[in-house]
Amino acid sequence: MFRTLRLCLLAALCVLLGSTAISASPIQWGYDWSASPAFVTAGTGKVTLSSEPYKTAAGNSHVVATQLKVYSTAPPASPDTFGPADGFYSLTINLKDISSSATGSLTFTGKLSGSFSQLSSNVSNTFTGPTVQSILLGYTTFVVTMSSYTPPGPPDQLNFGSIGALVEVSSLKPAERTPEPSTLALAGLGAGIAGFSAWRRRRRQAA
Domains of the chain: which residue ranges? Answer: 2-22+177-206, 28-171
pLDDT given for residue 62 in this prediction: 98
State pTM to two decimals. 0.74
pLDDT given for residue 78 in this prediction: 97
Q: Is the model's pLDDT at 14 over the cut of 50?
A: no
Percent of the chain with pLDDT over 90: 69
Q: What is the pLDDT of residues 153-195, one digit of tens each?
A: 999 888 899 999 999 999 987 654 444 555 544 455 455 555 5
Q: Is the model's pLDDT at 1 over the cut of 60?
A: no
Measured between alpha carbons, how far apart are the two ends of the chain, in Å?
14
Nearest residue to 60 via CA among 33, 29, 34, 91: 29
Q: What is the mean pLDDT of residues 103-131?
A: 98
Q: Is the model's pLDDT at 134 over the cut of 80?
A: yes
pLDDT given for residue 178 in this prediction: 46
Long-range contacts (CB closer than 8 Å, 24 or more residues apart) made by 50-58: 54/30, 55/30, 55/31, 56/28, 56/29, 56/30, 56/31, 56/98, 57/28, 57/29, 57/30, 57/31, 57/167, 58/25, 58/26, 58/27, 58/28, 58/29
Q: What is the pLDDT of residues 18-50, one digit of tens each?
A: 444 444 799 999 999 999 999 999 999 999 999
Considering the chain, what is the average pLDDT of its residues? 84
Q: What is the pLDDT of residues 176-186, one digit of tens each?
A: 444 455 554 44
